[in-house]
Amino acid sequence: DAGITQSPRYKITETGRQVTLMCHQTWSHSYMFWYRQDLGHGLRLIYYSAAADITDKGEVPDGYVVSRSKTENFPLTLESATRSQTSVYFCASSVQGNSPLHFGNGTRLTVT
Amino acid sequence: DQQVKQNSPSLSVQEGRISILNCDYTNSMFDYFLWYKKYPAEGPTFLISISSIKDKNEDGRFTVFLNKSAKHLSLHIVPSQPGDSAVYFCAAASSGGSYIPTFGRGTSLIVHP
C-alpha cells in the first residue's frame, strides 16, 4: 500500500545500546523528517532530508544519526541510547518544501 | 525559546458549538502556517494551511484566520463534533528556511456530546 510506514511500532532497549528506527515511504517524496513528541514539548525536529544523500540537523539532533541513501528510506539511529531519548518518534515526508507533511504512525521507544 | 506557542493545553466544547484554537508565533520570517490533527496512537494529519498573503482560509467546517500584525492565528471549527476530539498542532514555516515547519506544543480538544 502507498504511504509512509515506521517500524517497529514499539521498542524497548537498554541504556547504551544502539537502536535504529526505520521509515519507508512509497510516494517518492523529496523531503523526509524525523520528529520526537514529548509531553510538554510538542513535536520537535531531530533531522530532515531534502533529497537522497542530503541531510540536515533540526532542533534536537544530539545523540542521533541519520542517513538517506535511497529516496524512500530515512532511518534514524540512536548510537548509544539514553533514558532522555524515551519518546514517541514520528517520521514524515512531503513532496516539496511548501507542502504539508505526511506522518507515519510513530514508534514508541522506551530506554530503560 | 519557543517560536510557536499554543498557550492552551486543553479546550472543552459542547457538540454543535464553535471551537477556537489559538496559536502565536514570534518569528516574523514565518510566512506559511498549518494546522494538524492528531488522534491517539496515530501520526498527525494535515488539516488546513494558510499563506501570509491571506488572512483567512476556509475548508468545510474548518477556518483558519491569520493576523500578521499580532503574529497570531486561530483555527475555528463550526460546528464542533465529537469526532473532532483530538490534539491540534499549529505549525509555522518560512520560505527562506526551506519551509521546514516548527510545531507548537498542541492543544487537546474535547467535544462533549
* pLDDT tens per residue, range A40-92: 888 999 999 999 999 999 999 999 999 999 999 999 999 999 999 999 999 99
CB–CB contact B100 A45 (8 Å): yes
For B1-113, strand residue ranges (E) read 4-5, 10-14, 19-25, 32-38, 45-51, 56-59, 62-67, 72-77, 86-93, 102-103, 107-112
The pLDDT score that the predictor gives to residue A2 is 65
Q: Pairing mode, if any, of strands A107-111 and A10-13?
A: parallel
Tell me the pLDDT band of A1, cut-offs 50, 70 and 90.
low
Show the cell assigned to B15.
457538540
Question: Quick one: closest CA in B to A48, which residue?
Answer: B100
Mutation choice for B interface testing from A98, A99, A107 by most B CBs within 10 A? A98
**B67 CA to chain A: closest CA distance, Å?**
20
CB–CB contact B93 A40 (8 Å): no
Tens-of-pLDDT digits for all 113 residues of chain B? 789 999 999 999 999 999 999 999 999 999 999 999 999 999 999 999 999 999 999 999 999 999 999 999 999 999 999 999 999 999 999 988 788 999 999 999 999 99
Give which of A22, A29, A19, A15 is closest to A90, Cα–Cα.
A22
Task: Specify which residues A86 forms β-bridges with.
Answer: none
B71 burial via Cβ count (<10 Å: 0-12, 13-18, 19+): middle
The pLDDT score that the predictor gives to residue A98 is 79
Give which of A1, A12, A3 is closest to A108, Cα–Cα.
A12
Show the cell assigned to A97.
518544501
The pLDDT score that the predictor gives to residue A96 is 82
CB–CB contact A106 B95 (8 Å): no
Question: Quick one: closest CA in B to A59, which residue?
Answer: B102
Mutation choice for B interface testing from A37, A90, A94, A102 by most B CBs within 10 A? A37
CA distance B57 to B47: 11
B101 touches chain A (CB under 8 A): yes
Tell me the pLDDT band of A97, cut-offs 50, 70 and 90.
confident
